[in-house]
Structure 1
Amino acid sequence: MAFEGLADRLQATMQKIRGKGKVSEADVKAMMREVRLALLEADVNFKVVKQFVNKVSERAVGQDVMKSLTPGQQVIKVVKEELTELMGGEQSQIATAKRPPTVIMMAGLQGAGKTTTTGKLANLLRKKYNKKPLLVAADIYRPAAIKQLETLGKQLDLPVFSMGDKVSPVEIARQAIDKAKEEHHDYVLIDTAGRLHIDNELMGELKEIKEIATPDEIFLVVDAMTGQDAVNVAQNFNDQLEISGVILTKLDGDTRGGAALSIRSVTEKPIKFVGMGEKMDALEAFHPERMASRILGMGDMLTLIEKAQTSVDEEKAKELEQKFRTASFTLDDFLDQLGQVKNMGPLDELLKMMPGANKIKGMDNLQVDEKQIGHVEAIIRSMTMKEKEQPEIINAGRRRRIAKGSGTSVQEVNRLLKQFEEMKKMMKQMTGMQQKGKKKGGFKLPFM
């Protein structure tokens, strides 16, 4: 996660004050010194840091906090609330035109990932919001831009409007909107040209497209890894084009995350979406409160649940619940579940979203070995159908054959079979608890 360094520093600072029965102004001052350093190290704009620290200090030494029964917890609550406010307060919803199509203009410098992000956003609009988007190739200057968007369109099975590189981007935008109206598209996403730096020619063209397309949203795509430069770019684009929101790319990279905390304050425009990986479904709506929770090590269950809801097939979940209850869950079912969990994203990132995960020793450096998951899949695929349904028949000879066929060891096969049996027992107990819970209105298995 982009905020890893900042998160570590802030969590360590919060830990010192968390359990204190009494908090003095000196305690708050010492904590704020640490918070200031943590934010500056994360490349947050120094004016933003000053405002943030002043706001938290003012609230933290107030009567409501100092005289409360749990002042340490109250100070942390203040930090979380102000961190949330710093990033925009509430999630900013995407615009919807009164009469379709809703026009979104995608802008940004070359190399920020604008074209890929345009594809990701179209994919999100279709999958999550059930919309019908049209992609528009209006970057006629970068030789590969049109081809790249067309390739993404094919990959995602989404239509792309293109007129080649000899027609002006303004005319392309005009005709694309006419086409979208004819074909009843809900959204038009215009992929505009970028440059390596901001210049008058670029801005002039973008203003012309804005005038003819009258977009409902102008999204600036910014590379989070560029730190303070990202803030300067956002400010320049906003001054000249009046953007409506920002999409931060590469927020999953090895970056200090200061851009995400600074852009909202400097431009007063919300961060609408964040790119969290290379895959075409790795674009998420930006939730300031959830991000503040993650930074402070409080987990992010809502995002985890949303990921599960989009990745886990509801019908299969019901079928599995029945199988757990009747102890008919097979290794084939387990393999299917493994695939669905993998679709939710990197497992180490998912585990870190669990509340309290930051308190587990070694969680900071946790890295789930994807090779081990590959070994598990290979072992199960090397079994016969009967072996998958009745693992108890797998004797020593069969275990040697499975290990050889999967390129693993007999020990790994033994470990998997033992873990599978333990899991079946545990899940049967949990489904039993769930049935009792239904009568009492209590326990429920997640996503079932």
Structure 2
Amino acid sequence: MAVWSQSVARADDGALAVGGCDARALAAEHGTPLYVVDEADFRARARGFREHFAAAFARHGAQCDVFYASKALLSSQIASWVLDEGLGVDVASGGELALALRGGVPGGRITLHGNNKSDAELIRALEVGVGRIVVDSMTEIEVLGALAAAAGVVAPVLVRVTTGVHAGGHEHIATSHEDQKFGLSLATGAALDALRAVHVSPRLELRGIHTHIGSQILSVDAFKDSAERMLRLRADFAVETGYEMPEVDLGGGYAIAYTPESESMDVERASRAIADVVAQGVEAAGAGWPHISIEPGRAIAGPAGMTLYTVGVTKDVALDGGGSRQYVAVDGGMSDNMRTITYGAEYTAALANRHSGAPPVLSRVVGKHCESGDIVVRDVDLPSDIARGDLLAVPATGAYGRVMASNYNSVLRPAVVAVRDGRSRVLIRRDTMADLLDWDVPL
């Protein structure tokens, strides 16, 4: 059950349990659709990144910090878990910053990202002493310098570099090619110009450089190429200015498995390979070691989560060329999982409330929305006797499910609950009809 969190098991009657909690009891108490996060699994993955990367870089006498990319899944309680496990937190908006602070994360342990930060977001970051502000444009460098001057502080800055290394499973999650919105180009010299501008600014402290090359990356080769280019840029800047930037952030993007047939990146093996690559790059550049940091998000949150649905309508649909497909409609859909329709993402599903001896048939799990593309799982074998009222569980939905959820068709967004040691508690409450009506302004 590699796609499921570590505590998932089946009882003798076939019902799924996670974190010691029966799926049927979770659905009865909290309703469906329901995002379920295995707290122990989440914490173990966060801790694993910290420990493996620390050990891998310690072999070279170097340090590596881990910052949780909170855009994957965030609440104040999750922020506190991350802090407990020794990680910092990456945020990409004022809202994410507020949640991290509410969870007790000190400003100095937070990195603020974003390609178009507002003045209010930057001012708040300066007020709470955010440890690193990743600048994304020459405009932002000018604005941040002025805001820091007005506040009477010096802002710690990383410059986001577009290295030209292409990686990621879909064009919308590959973030280091030239023709996209993030970063400053290494190839055109824009990155070097930005470094110069930050370095001479009296209100900006140039802490280092940052890159993020994409998501769902399986090959360490992409990280190798990116790290080599970043370290060369750092060395060239040191030759030009005499200043050796103390930090290099290599971003995240570590792949997870969404189906039994797919692969995930082995964190321990990746940490050693990346540390060795950076060591080679440092030696080749002839510079001292920087402090390295990485930013996993999906690889921590994704496998720790699942979504529970209640089945409504089922029907068999004839296929062109013969045969049929069982359509299984559930009480959620694209409003709680946008990744299938947005990225063509593949998932799997399993009957969660009972054992079935019925033969499996080719099935498609669809949602309740007024869209033909409202598909949760495109192709999966499910029992032919699946029926209204059954529970379905879709694994590996901990990342980018709730945070991308919408109220399309005025559907209410699901709750997020944490499970551990046979108990559940709410992390993010379910929308209510009262919420929906409160947002509406009547004539």
TM-score normalised by L of structure 1? 0.29
TM-score normalised by L of structure 2? 0.29
* Greater share of residues in helix: 1
Instruction: Decide which structure has the larger Cα Rg and report it.
Output: 1
Query: Which structure's relative contact order is higher, taking Cα pairs within 8 Å and 6+ residues apart?
Result: 2
